[in-house]
């Protein structure tokens, strides 16, 4: 069965392709569907945005669509930037602009108060309206300065629990094993068979 990964984020796409590799789905990238324009993420929860992306892409392509909405929730900032993680430093901001803004905003926060988590909500949606969803979390803390060049987004300033390296210093397989996206996808795999044609 074919599945479209409903993301324009290249970092996410690479991780999801790897995570879905053993699942027997023929994975197609959203790049192959020029006619699908910008999907405005106007939800206030990860779930609303993931549902909107998956449903829109499934209805426009006629294929099973898998969408991920994710972000960073920082304890000292009351859970911000959350659903606004991609545009924290403004619409169209780069990953570096976003994490530099975060470091700046947290410059006076002591080490023991720098807890944070990545959250990922996934939705798999069929064009006939059947769907399943899942969620994954990865706890950790925000560093004082960036380290590493793997991954994407806030990875250079996030150290996952139980490690001293940032997420951007882990290999793709190491990250996938512990990440919010990895956890959400393992749970999605337990559900998705309910809506997949054998």
Give the active site residues: 69
Residue 54 within binding range of ligand ITT, rule CB under 6 A:
no
Which stretch in 17-25, 63-71, 104-112, 186-194 sits in contact with ligand ITT by CB under 6 A?
Answer: 63-71
Burial group, residue 125, by CB count within 10 angstroms (0-12, 13-18, 19+): buried
* Residue bearing tokens 């999801």: 16
Binding mask 3-42 for ligand ITT (x = CB under 6 A): ----xxx--x----------------------------x-
Nearer to ligand ITT, 169 or 179 (CB): 179
Give the CA distances from residue 188 to residues 13, 66, 96, 120, 154, in Å, rounded to whole numbers and listed in that order. Answer: 16, 10, 30, 11, 24
Contact call for residue 73 and ligand ITT (CB under 6 A): no
> Considering beta carbons, is residue 141 or 198 the nearer one to ligand ITT?
141
Residue 32 tokens, joined: 């192959």
Shortest separation between residue 85's beta carbon and ligand ITT, angstroms: 3
d(CA 141, CA 113): 9
The phi-psi region of residue 176 (left if phi > 0; otherwise alpha if psi is between -120 and 50; otherwise beta) is: alpha
Q: How distant, in Å, are the alpha carbons of 35, 68, 106 from that of 32?
A: 9, 18, 40
Give the chain's length.
198
Binding of ligand ITT at residue 119 (CB under 6 A)? no
Binding mask 142-171 for ligand ITT (x = CB under 6 A): ---------xxxxx-----------x----
Site of interaction with ligand ITT (CB under 6 A): 7-9, 12, 41, 68-72, 85-86, 98, 118, 151-155, 167, 179, 181
């Amino acid at each position: 069965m074919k599945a479209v990964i409903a993301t324009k984020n290249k970092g996410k796409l690479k991780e999801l392709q790897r995570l879905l590799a053993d699942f027997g789905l023929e994975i197609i990238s959203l790049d192959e569907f020029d006619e699908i324009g910008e999907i405005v993420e106007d939800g206030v929860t990860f779930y609303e945005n993931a549902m909107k992306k998956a449903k829109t892409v499934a209805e426009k392509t006629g294929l099973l669509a898998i969408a991920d909405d994710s972000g960073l929730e920082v304890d000292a900032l009351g859970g911000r930037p959350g659903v606004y993680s991609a545009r924290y430093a403004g619409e169209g901001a780069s990953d570096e602009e976003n994490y530099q803004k975060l470091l700046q905003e947290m410059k006076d926060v002591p080490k023991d108060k720098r807890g944070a988590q990545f959250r990922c909500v996934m939705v798999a949606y069929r064009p006939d309206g059947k769907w399943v969803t899942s969620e994954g979390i990865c706890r950790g803390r925000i560093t004082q300065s960036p380290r590493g060049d793997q991954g994407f987004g806030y990875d250079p300033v996030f150290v996952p629990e139980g490690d001293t390296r940032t997420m951007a210093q882990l290999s793709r397989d190491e990250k996938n094993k512990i990440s919010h996206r990895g956890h959400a996808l393992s749970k999605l795999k337990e559900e998705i068979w309910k809506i997949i044609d054998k």
